[in-house]
Amino acid sequence: MFAKILIANRGEIACRVIRTARRMGVRTVAVYSDADAGALHVGMADEAVHIGPSPVGESYLRGDKIVAAALATGAEAIHPGYGFLSENPDFVDQVTAAGLVFIGPSAASIRAMGLKDAAKRLMEKAGVPVVPGYHGEAQEIVLLASKAREIGYPVLIKARAGGGGKGMRRVEHPDDFSEALSGARREAKAAFGDDRVLVEKYVDKPRHIEVQVFGDSFGNVVHLYERDCSAQRRHQKVIEEAPAPGMTPALRKAMTEAAVKAAKAIDYSGAGTIEFIVDASQGLKADRFWFMEMNTRLQVEHPVTEMVTGTDLVEWQLRVASGEKLPKAQSEIALSGHAFEARIYAEDAAKGFLPATGTLHHLKFPDTVPEGASMRIETGVRTGDAISPFYDPMIAKLVVQGKNRQAALEALGISLSQTEIAGSTVNTAFLAALAADADFSAGDVDTGLIGRHQQALTAVPPPSSEIVAAAALAASGAGAQAPTRDPWSSLAGYAHFHAMARRTRLRYGEDDILALVSMRPDGRFQVALDAPYDSALDLRAAPRLARWPGHVTVFSGAVGYSFAVPDPLARADEIAAGADSLRAPMPGLVKLVRAAKGETVIKGQPLLILEAMKMEHTISATHDGTIAEIATEGAQVTDGTVLVRFAEEAHG
C-alpha cells in the first residue's frame, strides 16, 4: 500500500478521498488555488501545495504543476477525483512518465472510451447494444443534417468529448438543426476543447441507468449493480438512487453482463461506470437498453452504491492501484436496502437553475434520521466558506439509506427539511419538492420528469405572516443581540404603562415590509405587520432562523426565506435594474453578441450569450426597443453587471 498520495482535486471529493486514506494509514497531499487557500480539503490533508491562481486553467488543470507537487512532497501516487484531469489520458502519461502511479485506469483505456463516437463503435464490436445514431468522423453540417433525417426526429446532438450535459441539444424539427448544432459545438469547444459531435435518436421516455464496474490488473472485473440517475435538470443529475426503481431480474442480468463485457473489452482497471439509456415507454425490458458512454473515473454519485453494497470504492481504488487484486469476487457482492443521493447546489431553481455565489454564513445539516435509516453528508465546505464563480457550485451531497425505497425516500425528505443554509440561494426546496413529487415517489422516473414538472417543483410559496413576523422579531434585536443569546432577549426591558415597541423594516424580493415589534407583560412578543400582510401576531417560541450581515433567514421545512434588513442610516439604493437595462444573472463570460448599438430589437429576440460554469445562457430582449449600449464579446462580467441598456424613448 502507498505511504503517501496526492489528490489532484478540490472540495467534496478531495475531502472524501482524504477520509478513506486517513483510515487506511495513508498520508495525503492536497493542492490548492488562490481561491482555495483556506478550503476544508487543505486543512484536512497532511500537507498542502499551492499550484496557482483561481481559474482552473491556471491551477487544477495544470498537470505539470500537480506532478511537480507530488514529486516535491514524496507522494507515490496521484488520485484524480472526478472532473478536472480525471479522464485526461495525457495527464496519466505525465504521471507515469514521472515514475508515479495514477490511481485510475490506464491512458489507453481512457482514450478508448474518451470520445463517445469511437467508444460506441468499439462497443458495437464487443457486442454491447448501442443507441441508433451517427457516430462517424465526418462533421460537415450537410452530412450531419442528412443523418438526422435518416435517424428520424427528434434527435439528440451530443458533444463526442466530455459529459455533464455540456454540448448537448435536443432537436425536434429539421429547421432547428443548424442553430442547435452551432450552440452544441460552441459549448463543447468551451468545455472540452473539441467541437465535434454525434447525432442519435432521441428516446421518447428515457431512463438513465448506469452500472458501477471495477477491474484490477489481473483481468478481473466485477459489477456493483446499478444506479438510476434519471432525475436530471439541463442534462445534469440531481437525485440519484440505487438500485433502480422497477428494475427486473432480466434487465439487471443483461445490463450488468453488458457492463462487465464493456470493461473487459478495454482491459479496464479501477473504478468505472457504464452509462446506459433505457427506453421505459413500455416498462423496463431486457432488449430496450443501449450503451451511452463510459466514465473512466469515480462518479459523483458513488456513495449510493457504497451504501447498498457495503463497500468503500475509494479504498478499492487505492488497493487496486497499489497492485492488489479486487477485494471481493462477484458472488460476494450483494444488494442491501435502498439509497438516495441529493446534490445540494448554490443555484436558483426558479430562474432556470442559474448558478449562484455567496458566503455560507449559516450551514447546518441534520443530526439524526428516522429509526432504521442511515445518512452521510459529503461536503467540502463549512460555515463561513464562499461559493466561488470559478468552480462547480455544489455545496454538499446528502446521502440516505433505508430498508426499502419508501423508507429511504422518507429519510431523504426529512433530512432535506432539516438542512439549513443561509448566505446563498440554494436548491434544497426544489430537492424536497422533487422527493415528494407523486411520479418520483412512485418510481415513475425518466430524464424528462423535472422538465415536465419544473414550474411546480421550483415554485416557492410566499412567506406566511408567521415567517415574516419571525424575521421582523429577529431583525428588531439585531443591535443588542450577543452571539450566544437568543434573538428575542434584546427587547426585554422595563416599560411603565405600555409595552416597549420597536419599528423595523425588512425587504423580501421587491417588497418592503414595515413591522412594529413590542414585548407583552406575559413575555410574549407582538408583531404588527403592514400590507400586504396586515396582521398582528403573538410569538413566544423561536423558529429555525439564522442572522447574518444585513439579513435574516427563516427556515420552514426545506425552504429558507431570506429577508434583507436595511440599514436605516444608509441611503436607499436608487439605482435598480429596471426596464431600461438587462443585467447579468450570474458571473460569466460574454461569449457571443447578436445585436449592436443602435439596433431596433423585438421582445424575445436573443441579444447575447453568457457563458457560466461552461454552460451557455441566452439573454433575450424583455420588450421592443432600441439598444443604447451592449456588452462586448469576451467581456468577463460579475453578477448584476449591465449587459444591455435600452434607449429611454424606445419602450412604452
Which of the residues are catalytic? 297
Q: Are 360 and 549 in contact (CB under 8 A)?
A: no
Give dist(CA 211, CA 251) in Å, integer. 12
Amino acid at 255: M
Query: For 393, which DSSP code?
Result: -
Residue 348 cell numbers, joined: 436558483
Neighbour count for residue 500 (Cβ, 10 Å): 13
List, in sequence order, every residue forming a beta bridge with 102; answer none if it has no partner. 78
Are 320 and 327 a contacting pair, CB within 8 Å? no
Contact between residue 280 and residue 205 where contact means Cβ atoms under 8 Å apart:
yes
CA-wise closest residue to 411 among 484, 329, 340: 340
- Give CA–CA dist 643/593, Å, rounded: 10
Contacting residues for 621 by C-beta, under 8 A, at least 6 apart: 582, 601, 602, 603, 604, 605, 607, 644
CA distances from 256 to 128, 313, 351, 622 (A): 11, 18, 38, 50
Cell of residue 442, nine digits: 412512485
3-state helix, strand, coil in the chain (%, to 5): 30, 30, 40
Cis peptide before 532 (omega within 30 of 0): yes
Q: Which three cell numbers stand for residue 234?
A: 439541463
Which 3 state secondary structure label does DSSP give 71? Answer: helix
Beta-strand ranges (E) seen in 432-510 are 501-508
Grid cell for residue 370: 428516522
The candidate with the shortest Cα–Cα distance to 469, out of 516, 512, 426, is 516
Strands of the sheet with 581-583, listed across from one edge: 581-583, 642-646, 625-630, 600-601
73 CB-near residues (< 8 Å, 6+ apart): 4, 6, 29, 47, 49
In 198-220, which positions are buried (b, 16+ CB within 10 angstroms) versus exposed (e)?
bbbbbbebbbbbbbbbbbbeeee
Answer yes or no: are the C-beta atoms of 124 and 261 closer than 8 Å: no
- Angle, alpha carbons 474-475-481 (nearest 5°): 70
Task: Please tell me whether residue 78 adopts helix, strand or coil conformation.
Answer: strand
User: Among candidates 339, 123, 317, 325, which has minimal Cα distance to 225?
Assistant: 339
Nearest to 341 by CA among 264, 202, 434, 446: 434
Residue 56: C-alpha distances to residues 51, 83, 362, 590, 591 (Å): 10, 11, 27, 18, 18
* Contact by Cβ (8 Å): 19, 1: no
Of 327, 329, 307, nearest in space to 317 by CA: 327
